[in-house]
Structure 1
Amino acid sequence: MNRTRILSAATLLALATTLASVPAPAQAAGRSDGFRVVDGRLVDATGRDFVLRGVNHAHTWYADRTGRSLADIKALGANSVRVVLSTGTRWTKNDAADVAGVIARCKANRLVCVLEAHDTTGYGEQDGAASLSQAVDYWLEIAGALEGQEKYVIVNLGNEPHGNVGHSAWTRDTEDAIGRLRAAGFDHTLMVDAPNWGQDWSGTMRENAPAVFASDPDRNTVFSVHMYGVYDTAAEVEAYLGSFVDRGLPLVVGEFGHDHSDGDPDEDAVMATARRLGLGYLGWSWSGNGGGVEYLDLATGFDADRLTPWGERLFHGPDGIRRTAKEAGVYRRGCSPADRPDGASRAEG
């Protein structure tokens, strides 16, 4: 989650002239035992199209709240949760045992678990931020907790891995990170955040996404944009999201809010456009925000019975989670016992 704006008219014009010349990536030959990307769509282990509909939870700062929070998030209709982890660079490290516990809780609540390394936030501009290379070191260190979880876990390499300084390095850094994880045997779907504090106002991720996708030998990478003040009109939202769909590139809105210090995001357009295009979104964030953005809490004091106006909008409003979320195939009725997280044979709605 963070800052800065303005998708210029010149940028939009350049995008419009570029779209027709960019070939769509071919269908992935990816693995069939976990999430994968097929023809620009995220597909789960049962072969069903899967659209993320969930929220972010700041586990690394509120680990004692995670169990109850995940249960509440699921009860409100979400099919996924993006979980904030720390590599130990800026905050207390979430080690392999802790991450294994988070995954187990996600599975117990039939939630797809998007795990993200938060210490990379604003690298190059934020003092003490970790590089994507350091984030890869962390994922390799906790690989034992992730192995065999490809049906339930998506690995988000690093949160907002470049600020507004040095973001031209995003493409190389992201390709290197993907390459290292694949060489180490990671078969998970990987999610990569945009630079510019996640908002990609420079168009760096948008313009280089085809090359980054092609650099993944598994063709199993999903792109994530964070929509705050840069995206304060429906036209900007639609232009950015549509540019990926038009090129057959997988995209989610990994974070967004109803307000922000850098402007007033058009959350209605984010949700409506995501529904129309069949794209996932993950609202920021369940509870515990500070530093002047407390208004982004979806629940007051982690209490699901006290949703904020933002929480009511996201969960219960038009194009919201309750109306549009569908469980991942591995959790749905009719799946074989082997596909269930606990091996149980009972039907679950």
Structure 2
Amino acid sequence: MKKIYLFLISVCLFHASLLAQGFKTNNTNGNLIDACGNNFIMKGINVPLAWFVSNVNNSIPALKTNTKSNCLRIVVNLSTPDNDWQTTVVNCIKNKIVPMVEVHDVTGNTDPARLKAMGDFWAKKSSFFNNTNFNGVNIKKHILINLANEWGTWQTATNKNTIWRDAVINAIKPMRTAGITTTIVVDAVGYGQDIDEAWNLRTYGKDIQRADNLNLGGPANSTVNSNILFSIHMYCEWKKGGDNIGIINTIKSSGLPVIVGEFGYQHATDGSCDIDEQLILNTCQNGGIGWLAWSQKGNSSDVAFLDLCIDWNCTQLSGWGNTVINGTNGTKTAVECAAFTSNSCTITSLKEEEISEDVVCFPNPFNNTFLIESPSPFQYTLYDMTGIEIESGKGNGSQSLGGNLSSGSYMIRLQTNSKSKVVKIQKN
């Protein structure tokens, strides 16, 4: 076998070779990792784009200024024109806000085929999600995708069977097949709330991770490559005297990345569903867990008390909004995603070592093109030396690359079913 110089990925560096591809979950400690390898703890709000397109889109710069949110969860319907929600995504990134898009059409639905349709919907948008220069911004580096809002009813959750697990696994597969590699956010069953301290999530979450790990080329019976972030919505199930909010720390530390994707301070006008919003904020703060409050503005009259803002720009706040934005551990304490601080991510922590492997790149150095040879199917991602992705693809047997590269040093990540490595290559 030809000897090649590898940059080995230490387990503690957590997939440094994935830098510049987008968000990634750490399935050991439950953290969400940005494209430059930094922990990202979201603090933000939900915005109702599907019903108020111009109001939401025009408010993005003001939301950054007035709330300091570092993430916005963007409500989309299947009928929302692509240009509308994609404009919101671009506006978020230009204002250094992480955009999370979610599709709202299957709220409370129990048909697995409908959830699968949501995965198919996002899969058809893969060219947008994988775009590194769309209207001047890098979508792939900064996007999060929420599969669907609140699929499954209370009965679905109470049954405690595998229907939610299986429906989610089937729905995320087409997204991965389409080449979407960024973090997929999965709402808990039971209108996002689950039951019995997130019993279904705690019981079946690892199965979903293992399935996604296989989708992304990882080894069998492992969660190492899985890129799933679970989301719990904290309303009446989590009211005072209800489920223990502190269970989210146990969930996260078990290697199930989790956020509170929606919550309010109450969910019934008669006061029968009183939620301890400050306990949610404090628990998330202490556990390094992200959260997104519901919602900017525009709620129907029966839940108008959940409007955070009096006006769309959030220059005037409701009492609920004042707690979320100005209160202890509120959005004004959010830390901007570090991946926005520069146009590239410098990779500095990889250890060089000379070893032999079955998958090889040669000649190295090369003059015009080089060849990847492997006895089994493989995936590759080519980077410049700052970690910016240049090209990615799949091969089986051999693949010729490099003809469009300028002289200089590059890195290429090679992955088979059982092995992964990063090779430094040099073009003369």
Tell me the residue number matched to 1:143. Answer: 126
Compared CA separation, residues 235 and 242, structure 1 to 2 (3 A): farther
Structure 1 window deviating more from structure 2 (110-119 vs 199-208): it is 199-208
Pick the aligned partner of 1:111 from 72, 92, 97: 97
> What is the CA–CA distance in structure 1 between the aligned matches of 2:140 and 2:241, rounded to whole Å?
35
Map 1:93-172 onto structure 2 (within 5 A): 93-124=79-110, 131-148=114-131, 149-167=139-157, 168=161, 169-172=163-166
Residue by residue, what CA displacement relative to the aligned partner does 1:88-128 show, whole Å, maximum 9, x if unpaired?
xxxxx123322321211111111000000111110139xxx
Matched, 1:331 2:335: no
Q: Which runs of 5+ in 1 are unaligned?
A: 1-25, 88-92, 341-349
Runs of 4 or more, structure 1, over 3 Å off, are 26-30, 165-168, 233-239, 333-340
- SS of structure 2 residue aligned to 1:264: coil
Report SS of the residue matched to 1:198.
coil
Alignment: residue pair count: 307
Q: How many Å separate the matches in 2 of 1:132 and 1:247?
A: 26
Query: Which residue number corresponds to residue 60 of structure 2?
Result: 70
2:316 corresponding residue in structure 1: 306
- List alignment gaps of at least 5 residues for structure 2: 1-11, 132-138, 214-224, 347-385, 389-428
Q: SS where residue 179 of structure 2 aligns?
A: coil
Deviation at 1:141, TM superposition (A): 2.6
Alignment check: 8 A CA contact 1:96 1:144 kept: no
Go from structure 1 to structure 2 and tell me whether the alpha carbon gap of 1:130 and 1:327 turns closer, same or farther (over 3 Å shift): farther
Larger Rg: 2
Aligned with 2:211 (options 188, 194, 215) = 215
Q: Over aligned residue pairs, what C-alpha RMSD do you find?
A: 2.6
Structure 1 equivalent of residue 295 of structure 2: 285
> Could you tell me which residue of structure 2 aligns to residue 31 of structure 1?
18
Of Structure 1 and Structure 2, the greater strand share is in 2
The structural deviation recorded for 1:248 is 2.0
- Cα distance, 1:291–1:130 mapped onto 2, change above 3 Å: farther
Give the structure 2 partner of residue 251 of structure 1: 258
Q: Is the 8 A contact 2:146 2:185 kept in 1?
A: yes
In 1: Cα distance, 2:121 partner to 2:256 partner: 27
1:296 and 2:306 matched? yes
State the Cα distance separating 1:166 from its structure 2 match. 3.3
Residue 73 of structure 2 corresponds to residue 85 of structure 1 = no
The SS at the match of 1:188 is coil
Q: Does 1:56 align with 2:63?
A: no
Give the conservation status (yes or no) of the 8 Å contact 2:61–2:95.
yes
Look up the match of 1:231: 238
- List per-residue Cα deviations over 1:270-291 (Å, max 9, x = no partner): 0000000000000000000004
- TM-score, normalized by length of structure 2? 0.67
The aligned amino acid for 2:230 is F
Aligned-residue identity in percent:
28
Aligned-residue offset at 1:237: 3.9
Q: Distance between the aligned counterparts of 2:101 and 2:120, measured in 1?
A: 15
Amino acid at match of 2:116: S
Q: Which amino acid aligns with 2:266?
A: D
Give the secondary structure class of the aligned counterpart of 1:292.
helix
- Partner of 1:102: helix, strand, or coil? helix
* Structure 1 position 303, deviation (Å): 4.4
Structure with bigger helix share is 1
User: What SS does structure 2 have at the residue aligned with 1:236?
Assistant: coil
- Provide the rounded CA distance (Å) in 2 between the counterparts of 1:104 and 1:113: 8
Counterpart Cα distance in 2 of 1:27 and 1:216: 21
CA 1:273–1:163 in structure 2 vs 1: closer, same or farther (change >3 Å)? same
Q: Which of the residues 182, 203, 206 maps onto 1:188?
A: 182
From the superposition, tell whether residues 157 and 28 of structure 1 become closer, same or farther in structure 2 (CA, over 3 Å).
farther
Q: TM-score, normalised by structure 1?
A: 0.81
Output one character per residue of 1:117-166: Cα deviation in whole Å (capped at 9) or x when no partner: 111110139xxx98211111211232232223221110000000111233
